[in-house]
Amino acid sequence: MVKMNYVPELTDEQVKDNHKLFEERASIYKSKGLDSAESREFILEKARPIRGRILEIGAGTGHMTLALASEGYKFTAIDSDREALRTTALNLAYKNVLSSVEFYVMDGTSLDFARGSFNNVVIVNVFHHVSDAGELLSEADRVIGGRGKLILADFNENGMLIVDSVHRHEGRVHETSGAGKEEVYSFLRSAGYEIKDYKDECHWILIAEK
């Protein structure tokens, strides 16, 4: 996919309307035991210090993007879904941190960035959507030049049950057949990373560095 800097056009009304939906959905998840903001803060706590250039792969609708930007980081975020990035931009705009992030519409398994372009790669709640974790992680390893930090997390069994429940209530199906922690851990170990293993109520978290 060709690298394409994405700069969405947003209105104040769209930003306010989106925030209302964002808060409503966050409240639903929190009532079921998944506090997205708290989880992102925990991931960042375990990942610190985060120094140098940062790439977020699979920004989705922006929960981790918002957490990073709110901490003052300036970074690059990608997703293959343009509409998801637009939602991310709306969430950042509400908190006045939109200028902290440069967006690209891009596939995480085929990154249009040179080797060594970044020092850190963040991938949160993405692996369950991909069939081959190695393909995604190989690209992450390449863009940090084989030396840097990978900040990785995804839903554990409890988190997945909560997400599935919310999606069913909304009449949707949540994809859960992708890669799991074991596959990710195996890749990191074989690639020579030092791995720190954490968890919260709804996520497994791996901080890998070399």
Q: Using one digit for the tens of pLDDT, what is the confidence trace for 107-143?
A: 999 999 999 999 999 999 999 999 899 999 999 999 9
Question: Using CA atoms, how far apart are residues 63 and 102, in angstroms rounded to an integer?
Answer: 16
Per-residue pLDDT at 90 exceeds 50: yes
Q: Using one digit for the tens of pLDDT, what is the confidence trace for 2-12?
A: 466 888 899 99
Question: Which of 8-15's residues contact partners 24+ apart within 8 Å by CB, and which partners?
Answer: 8/85, 8/86, 8/89, 8/90, 8/103, 10/86, 10/89, 10/90, 10/93, 14/90, 15/90, 15/93, 15/94
Per-residue pLDDT at 69 exceeds 80: yes
Q: Using one digit for the tens of pLDDT, what is the confidence trace for 182-198?
A: 999 999 999 999 999 99
Q: Nearest CA to 210 among 150, 153, 152?
A: 150
Q: What is the pLDDT of residue 1?
A: 45
Per-residue pLDDT at 48 exceeds 70: yes
CATH code of 5-209, in short, is 3.40.50.150
Mean pLDDT of 140-151: 96
Q: What is the pLDDT of residue 179?
A: 87
Average pLDDT, the chain: 94
Per-residue pLDDT at 167 exceeds 90: no
Q: What is the pLDDT of residue 4?
A: 60
Q: Nearest CA to 210 among 163, 158, 141, 159?
A: 141
